[in-house]
Chains A and B, each alone.
Chain A
C-alpha cells in the first residue's frame, strides 16, 4: 500500500504522529498545571452556580478551573514551534487565543472579581431627565443605544454579578468572528467565498457569507461553553469532533489544518483523562470559548460549514435547548425542560451524571460519523 500512495500515507503518519505528540506533552505537563491552579486558588466557587445544589455535584466545589489552558497552550505552542503553513494555521490559532483570553478573564473575574452591576433602562432614562450636570445628561443620551444593547443582551445570557458582562462577551466574540470572516472571505482563495453544500455543490451567497461566518463562530463558541457543565462532557465530545475535522482536512488536502486538528484532539485526550469524574480540573471558559471558536473556524477553513451541525451536534443541541427554554419562559410562561442546558434536564430527571455524560458522548459520536459521511460527498 505504501508503494502506491506514499505521500498520502506519509502525511497521515505526520497527522497521527503530531496528535500523539500533543497528547504526550499534555499528559506530562497536566500535573504542573493542576498544581499551579491549586497554588493560586483558581478553583470553583459555589455562590454563582445553582447546579452545585444537586447532591451529586457538591463535590465539585474547590475543583480547579481553567484546565482548558492545557489544550490551548499545548496547541498554540506546537503551532508556533513547528510553524506549519502559516497561511492556514496562524489565524485560527489567533482567533482561538482571543476567545480563550476572553474566557480566561471571565474565569478569573468570576473567582476574584467584585460584583459589577449595570443600570436598568428605567434608571438611565430617569438620570437623563434629572441629572443636574448637562454634560452627563448629554452623554447618557448619546450612549443610550449602547445602554439598550447592554440590557437587550441579557436576553441572550444571564450574569451572576461578577465576570464579564454579556454585552462585553458578545462584542469580543464578534471581533473574533469578524477576524475569521476577514480571513476566510478576503485572505484565502476564491473557493472560500462560496458555501459548499454536500450532495449539492458550491452555492454563492455573496457578501452574506461574512455575517454568516461571524454568527457561526459566535454561536459555536457559546455552544461549547454551554456544554461544559459536567466532568468530561465537553472534552469527551470535542475529541471525535476535532478528530473528524482532522480526517476531513486530510481528505481535502489541507495537511496543515489536519495536523492542527489532530494536535487539538490529541491534547483533548490528555485533558479528558484528567477531567472525567472525579475531575482533577475543569475546562473553564478559557478552554470552552477558545476551542469552540477554533472548531468553527477549522470547519469554515475547509469549507465544511454545512456539516457543523452534525460534527458539533450535541454542542448545538445544548445551545438550542437554552434558546428553547428562554423562548418557552418568555412566550409561554412555562419551562419546556426542567432545567437548561439539556444535560441538567436529564440529571434532574434522575439520570446519574455518568449516565448522562456517556449517553451524550455516544449520541454525539453517532452524529460525528454521520457528519463525516456527509462531508465526504
Chain B
C-alpha cells in the first residue's frame, strides 16, 4: 500500500453506479465512435414547448437521438466521423448540455437509486400553479442553478461534512454555475474534491468545451482559495467573472432525516 493510498480516505457515500453511468454517458456519448458532450450555451433560442435535448437539458440518450436524426436529415454519416468531428457536429447543430442540466440528470439518477424517487419529488418551485404543473412535467428545463441553490431545495454543508452527490454552487451577478462532487479524498491536510461539470472556458475556443472532471484541492472552507485542476492544468473561475458566493450544498433529496 502506498503512502498516498494509506492516507486515502474515500467518502463513505460514493455516487451510485446509476449516477456514475450517467456521468460516463455524458463523457463518452454513445454516438458513432463516441465523444464528450459539448457545453450548451444556455440560450433558449425561442424554443417553446420544444425538445429538451435542443435547449441543453437532454439526457445522453436524447442528445444522441437528436444528433442521429439531424445527421439523417443532413445526410451526414456519424459512423465515419472521429471524436473531434463528432463534437464539432454537435456544437454546430446546437446540441450539448448546460451545467444545471448536467447536474440534474446525475442527481436525478442518484435520487432514483438511493431514494427510489425522482429528484423532482424533492424540489420546490416557487411558481404559479400552472408553471408548477409544467415544472412537474418538464423538470429538467425548469431546474437552474438558482433553483438548486434555493434554501427550499438545498442547504449549505461544511467541507468536513461534504460527501458525494453534494453540489458546489458558484453565484455571480452575471452567471451562476454548478458542479457535482463525485468523490472526496483526504490527503494529509488537504481535502480533494473530485467534481464533474459542464463548462466552457474561454481559451477552449468554439469546440473545446464540454463535460469534464476536475479536482479542487482545499486546505480550508474557502472554495475560491483552493486549487482547481482540470485536464492537468490549473483553472480559475475568478478570472472569468467575480464570484460572489461559493458554497457546498446538499440537496434535500440527500439530507438525512
Contact = CB atoms under 8 A, between A and B. Distances in A.
B49 A330 contact: yes
Interface in A37-53: 50, 53
A50 B73 contact: yes
Nearest to B57: A333
A332 B139 CA distance: 9
Contacts of B138: 331-333
A323 interface: no
B50 A329 contact: yes
Most buried by B among A50, A329, A334, A348: A334
Contacts of B49: 329-330, 333
B112 interface: no
A333 B140 contact: yes
A339 interface: yes
A53 B51 contact: no
B62 interface: yes
B65 interface: yes
A352 B218 CA distance: 57
A333 B72 contact: no
B75 interface: yes
Nearest to B54: A333
Contacts of B74: 53
A334 B72 contact: no
A332 B140 CA distance: 10
Chain B: interface residue count, which band?
Answer: 10 to 19
Given A334-B62, A338-B65, A53 B75 contact: yes
A335 interface: yes
A335 B72 contact: no
Contacts, number: 36
A376 interface: no
B137 interface: yes
A329 B51 contact: yes
Contacts of B132: none
Nearest to A330: B49
A54 interface: yes
B51 A335 contact: yes
B72 A50 contact: yes
B69 A338 contact: yes
B135 to A, nearest CB: 12
A53 B53 CA distance: 21
Interface string B122-142: 000000000000000110110
Nearest to A328: B51
B52 interface: yes
Contacts of A331: 137-138
Chain A: interface residue count, which band?
Answer: 10 to 19
Interface in B118-160: 137-138, 140-141
A50 B70 CA distance: 10
Most buried by A among B50, B53, B65, B72: B72
Given A50-B72, A53-B72, A54-B72, A334 B51 contact: yes
A339 B70 CA distance: 12
Contacts of B53: 334
Q: By DSSP majority rule, is chain B's interface helix, strand, loop, or mixed?
A: helix
Nearest to B72: A53
A114 to B, nearest CB: 23
Interface in B67-107: 68-69, 72-75
A190 to B, nearest CB: 46
B75 A332 contact: no
A335 B58 CA distance: 11
B73 to A, nearest CB: 5
A334 B52 contact: yes
A53 B65 CA distance: 15
A53 B49 CA distance: 26
A81 B245 CA distance: 85
B73 A333 contact: no
B151 to A, nearest CB: 27
A339 B66 CA distance: 10
B51 A333 contact: yes
Contacts of B50: 329, 333
Nearest to B47: A333
Given A53-B73, A54-B72, A333 B65 contact: no
A333 B141 contact: yes
A339 B72 CA distance: 12
B22 to A, nearest CB: 16
Interface in B26-52: 49-52
Most buried by A among B51, B57, B74, B75: B51
Contacts of A335: 51, 62, 65
Interface string A91-112: 0000000000000000000000
A338 B50 CA distance: 15
Contacts of A332: 137-138
A155 to B, nearest CB: 9
A360 to B, nearest CB: 21
Nearest to A331: B137
A333 B52 contact: yes
A331 B141 CA distance: 11
A193 to B, nearest CB: 41
Nearest to A329: B51
Interface of B: 49-53, 57, 62, 65, 68-69, 72-75, 137-138, 140-141
11 contacts: A50-B72, A53-B73, A330-B49, A331-B138, A333-B50, A333-B140, A334-B52, A338-B65, A339-B69, A348-B68, A348-B69
Given A331-B137, A348-B68, 6 more contacts: A50-B73, A53-B75, A330-B49, A331-B138, A333-B141, A335-B62
> Lowest 7 A-B CB distances belong to which pairs?
A333-B52, A330-B49, A53-B72, A333-B138, A50-B73, A53-B73, A331-B137
